[in-house]
Amino acid sequence: MHKKPPVKKDCSAKGCYKYALALSEHCWGHLPDKNEYRTALIKAIDSGQDLSGENLEKVDLSGAHIEKALLSRVNLSQANLSGTRLFDSKLENADLIGADLTDSDLSHCDMHGSDLTKATLVRARLWNTDLMGSNLTEADLSGADLWSAKLYNARLWHTTFAGAKSLAKKNFSKGSGSLSKTVMINESGILSAEEAYRDLKGYFILNGMYNDASWAAFREKAMERKIFLKRGDLNYIPSLIMNLLCGYGEKPYRIIISAFGAICLFAALYAALGSVQNASSPDYLMKWSDYLYYSTITFTTVGYGDFIPKPGTLYRLLAATEAFMGIYVMGLFIFTLSRKYSGR
């Protein structure tokens, strides 16, 4: 059962329009004794007092040990939480805009939906921390340890991950483990999402995580395609074709499917037009398997010579088109394989 939202009180200091802090009648700037307030606040948290929804703007709790704190929806904007141990605390939907969480321990904390815009999380420990749906815009996670941290649907833009540890594609999975099919950051802002995926791609490449870089590169291009569509840019069409054909060079299996589809399509065209004949016996009655065989050797440019196009510009042009397409698709397949499974 959720705690009833606290009634916000104005700071009692004359001429101050800020809200008073929890357990006080003053804002942080007008506290008569900050050390005394800090001690009282830590004691209240340690005793299990639920401070959900309270105002703790700019408080200094640096170095404090306040495990299992109940701080859902709390306002901790610009708070100093550097070196603070908040293990297994409830911080969902908390306002941590501009907060200093340098060297803090946020392991096993529930921080889903929290706003960490411009927050400093340098060298923070985020083991198994739930950050799903959180806002990490311009947050600094340099050197942070993100082992098993949950970042599905997190908003990233100009987020710094330099030197971050244990960051991988699986951190962005909706479910548990790397087999989850839903893997993404927040994509509601397609421009910021495109840039964020590009930054993740760079991080993964720098750390030799090429499979994860492939995922980020594909999502980056998917965002670019959405931008083209939104702007009415004609580049949307070739972008869509490249997505369907090879997943922007990141999904080799799509090329195999595309090649099989092209071979079957041309075989059907050859059969419908009756455009192929047996080279040694023109009266030979062609079967579907013969058309499929002819389409395959034409697509792969093998051309054994046992079947040839009938005389006629249209028939020869059709065969030439398939051969040209086959060369292009096979080259694209080799490029995609080398891109995906070797150093990019």
Query: Helix 288-299 and helix 252-273: axis angle, to 10°?
Result: 130
Question: What integer is the mean pLDDT of 177-205?
Answer: 88
How far, in Å, CA of 81 to CA of 318, rounded?
Answer: 70
Residue 59: closest CA among 21, 16, 103: 21
Distance CA 235, CA 237 (A): 5
What is the structure's pLDDT at 262? 94
pLDDT of residue 303: 82
The pLDDT value given to residue 343:
54
pLDDT above 90: residue 304: no
- The per-residue pLDDT for 207 is 93
Residue 108 pLDDT > 80: yes
pTM of the model: 0.84
- Which tens digits make up the pLDDT trace of 109-131? 999 999 999 999 999 999 999 99
Cβ distance 177 to 158 under 8 Å? no
Angstrom distance (rounded) from CA 113 to CA 90: 12
Q: Is the pLDDT of residue 179 over 60?
A: no
Give residue-wise pLDDT tens across range 239-292.
Answer: 999 999 889 988 888 999 999 999 999 999 999 999 999 988 888 899 999 999
pLDDT value, residue 4 = 63
Mean model confidence pLDDT for the chain: 92
List domains and CATH numbers for the chain: 251-341 (1.10.287.70)
Amino acid 81: pLDDT = 97
Cβ atoms of 141 and 123 within 8 Å: the answer is: no
Q: Which residue has the tokens 């030979």?
A: 284
Residue 74 pLDDT > 70? yes
Between CA 186 and CA 196 the distance in angstroms is: 10
Q: What is the pLDDT of residues 2-37, one digit of tens each?
A: 566 787 899 999 999 999 999 999 999 999 999 999
pLDDT tens digits for range 89-107: 999 999 999 999 999 999 9
* Model confidence at 47: pLDDT above 70: yes
